[in-house]
Structure 1
Amino acid sequence: MTSIKTMVTDLISADALDLILYPTEQCNFRCTYCYEDFSIGRMTEDVQLAVKRLISQQARNVKLLTLAWFGGEPMVARDIMLDVARHAAACASQSGTKLKGIVTTNGYFLTPKIMADFVALGHDHFQVSLDGFGEDHDNTRKLISGGGTFARIWRNLLDLRSTDLQFKVTLRLHLTRTNLASIELLLSKLAEASFRSDKRFVVLFKIVNQLADAPAADTAVLSRSEAPAVLEQMRALASGLDLDVAEPDQIKVCYASRPNSVAIRATGKLQKCTVMLNDSANDVGELMPDGTLRLEPKKMLPWMEGILTEDPSSLACPAGAISKARVASKHRTIPIEVV
């Protein structure tokens, strides 16, 4: 088992750089539990150029460059994604750097043709979220118009399974108190459709957390006490169906804990966490026009707490540690010396 000390040593390696990129912060879905406000649109041309300059500079300095695309729904702006990815692939080829592309997507646009375009540019890791089978998924993962999304995503997955493209699709299955029977049905349908014999697809179970300011009434969130047993039950069921199941990390390390990971918003703002979008504690700097990162050390430091202390909880969720510290500071007593 990897020790925390070994994990921390790996985290501070200067041989890798992880860039989380928002080509757009708009989305074609309106999921009932989403925490985003969609107030920002496409990445501006100036920011796109700055991202390319950053990639040109860093491709010469690191052994591994990871582009992790986020949103919104990043594939709403796949023209930006492909343009930057082409640039990154060319830079990586020229410098001998390994390029890894990861896309977090709702799967609505993930056709074989689009998959082929990305795979050709070293982008072969995708994560697609599902909330159940059929209407149960559609109840929470809706189009802006209110229409359903499952049928199209399912068609895309079946079409991808029929290709010989080399990729890895993580099916992120969201669990709530009310959709467990539907998730079980989805697992059986995946097995029936031969996904169990295809190692390009892996199942990952995640408990839905209500992060929106205004919780949706129809999202029945599992409690902390319920979650472990439900996760164990679902993993056992999926394994029994011979589906490839992603195992939880023994030591959980959030991307935001990593010193070599930074998120670049569509505006060029630099952040560490993809959830605390409107929290000033998450604003750690700015991408400059010349492609350099202007980072604020004092604002970066709290995100490094887990690295400095080797504390498992801070490594797993630095945002949570920052929030707890903020609450504690409000109630901290300050000793006053009376002369």
Structure 2
Amino acid sequence: MATILGIESSCDETSAAICIDGKILSNIIANQTVHEKFGGVVPELASRAHQQNIIPTVHTAILEAKIHKNDIDAIAFTRGPGLLGSLLVGTSFAKAFALAKNIPLIEVNHMQAHILAHFIEDPKPAFPFLCLTVSGGHTQIVLVKDYFEMQLIGQTIDDAAGEAFDKSAKVLNLPYPGGPLIDKFAKLGNPDAYNFPEPQIKGFDFSFSGLKTSILYFIQQKISEQSDFLENENNLQDVCASIQKRIVSILLKKLTLAAKELKINNIAIAGGVSANSGLRKDLICLAEKENWNVFIPKFEYCTDNGAMIAIAGYHKYLKQDFASQEIAPIARWAVNHSQ
């Protein structure tokens, strides 16, 4: 029996989870509301909040799993990528815990963990599969050949899809985090009301900076013509629906291209933006058309969470792939490379 404590602290969520033999018994997430008034994550405030949250979060995870801290066989933690100050808090805690309990330390790549979240519950994807990993900081298409054999075949050349959602929301005067609010209003709007441009990028790569700029100019023009344009609920809903439709279409067009070229019909999505209802709905429709086997994680495993770190740590534990006490966090870490 292997009992793994997973620690996630890459950005603005402090999370801890307990995994026993591949089964998640607890997954506690402490969100940080301090960033709302700044319209985005402030790294220094994030690291301070992690320091305040990490001990009670771990304690709660252990209690909810109904185990004792002495039952833990190894501790897995997010080494990177992410905000260095935030990563440092989780890494330091994990190293101290492992040293105090004399148990192995397991480093986890945050982006690999998002993909491995698909192995928390059934149905699990069969290898090989393609995973569209979309979040505030990353937009990638990954060919997953095994648990830790992954090939990055497409990524954004500028901004991530999650950033496109959040920055668009800011232009619409929606509070942070704005991505979920765009999703909420989009459900009530007409996705064909406005036609935002689609970037022409060759291959499997993405680009969202031009789309963000076009949305900004569009809103500025509309407000110059009608000062209360965004105060009209119907206008706001239609704009949100149109923005969401374009971002989702960009993502799925590249995913379709990769699936056809590589002749793979096992398709997964992961990351915070995979919680978007428009992406989920359109992917399911596309899967029926393309005869894909689609794997979509539960909402609680889409955003940053300790469970995905714990399950990744469990599979590394089976390989006896442990880290040393000299290990340090890294802000940039490719999904297809070890350090």
TM-score (norm 2): 0.29
Name which structure has the greater RCO, CA cutoff 8 Å, separation 6+.
2
Higher normalized helix content (fraction of residues): 2
TM-score (norm 1): 0.29
